[in-house]
Amino acid sequence: MQKWLLNAMIEYNSASFQNSQSYPAVLHMPGEILDKILKWCFESLPDEILVGIDVNNKQKVNQQVNEAFRSMESRKDLFAGQDFVIGEAEIVNRGDSYSVHHLPEDWTDGIFTESRGARGGRFTHWLHTHPNAVAIPSHQDADAAQSTHGVDLILGVEFTPEGPLGWYDNVEGVRRPLGKNEHQEREDREPPRGAAGWRRKWWKKKNQRQVLGIAPTGHSIHGLELIAFHKSGVGVNVVLVDDEGMPYGWPFTK
């Protein structure tokens, strides 16, 4: 695992801890699985990918960690697999934003009933990617989540060269970045002066973006976002853990 991703996961976990009171439940996700999904994401461009995720029934979540991230409004049985660490991930489908949620025919050859939804299958959780788009659920995402027993996750990835997928962030919602650039955030908050200022800001944002890391495909990764949500509409806090079930960067303080 590359050092930039380790650092990004530490920052992400710190934010998850600081904002723990905003979530009714926590999902424990191994960093190695996130690393694997990132590789699949770039190997599948320009398509989105749908990843089926199962829990490891032999590895319960660390109760000390669970208590540290527990909110005042926590719910113990919000979703399936809530007490277990994620243990398995597999690519199930790839395609555009309209077709990626549907399983290929060889996965739905009469085995699954209509009540399981378009994504009926054996997996507990589902994750899909948003190439060069923010990790905020669309209407299609919300509809597909209704057949999920666990939670749905979205991984948004900002990268160059963009190809046919220009960066899209014209969506309202709570964003959870993996890694931050404080200098760039300050520049974004400063209003430009005059038309020349707006052109200069646009050019810098397009051509001088931070580079978090380099994907195996050679793409420059400028930003990552990761969210999880339950089919009821509430967000689920994500904690990225190592092989021992401990969060990267542990322990955290308020």
Kindly state whether residue 252 falls inside one of the protein's structural domains. no
Tell me the pLDDT tens digit for each residue of 138-192.
998 999 899 899 999 999 999 999 888 788 888 888 889 986 544 344 444 455 5
What is the model's pLDDT at position 71? 93
Kindly state whether residue 136 falls inside one of the protein's structural domains. yes
Residues, the chain, total? 254
Kindly state whether residue 40 falls inside one of the protein's structural domains. yes
Q: How far apart are CA 12 and CA 6, in angstroms?
A: 10
SS3 sequence of 105-148: HHHCCCCCCHHHCCCCCCCCEEEEEEECECCCCCHHHHHHHHHC
> In angstroms, what CA-CA distances link 179 with 116, 143, 224, 225?
36, 29, 7, 9
Kindly state whether residue 247 falls inside one of the protein's structural domains. no
Specify the number of domains making up the chain: 1
Instruction: Please give the residue range of the domain that contains residue 229.
Output: 3-241
Q: Report the CATH number at residue 121.
A: 3.40.140.10
Q: How far apart are CA 49 and CA 94, in angstroms?
A: 4
Q: How far apart are CA 30 and CA 10, in angstroms?
A: 13
DSSP helix/strand/coil, 1 = coil
Kindly state whether residue 251 falls inside one of the protein's structural domains. no
Kindly state whether residue 253 falls inside one of the protein's structural domains. no
Tell me the pLDDT tens digit for each residue of 124-142.
999 999 999 999 999 989 9
Kindly state whether residue 254 falls inside one of the protein's structural domains. no
This prediction has a pTM of 0.85
CA trace torsion 171, 92, 122, 82 (10° rounding):
-40
| Closest residue by Cα to residue 56 from 34, 37, 30 | 30
Kindly state whether residue 249 falls inside one of the protein's structural domains. no
User: pLDDT tens string for the chain (254 positions)?
Assistant: 889 999 999 999 999 999 999 999 999 999 999 999 999 999 999 999 999 999 999 999 999 999 999 999 899 899 999 999 999 999 999 998 888 987 766 665 555 555 445 555 678 999 999 999 999 999 989 998 998 999 999 999 999 998 887 888 888 888 899 865 443 444 444 555 666 655 555 555 555 678 899 998 999 999 999 999 999 999 999 999 999 999 999 998 76
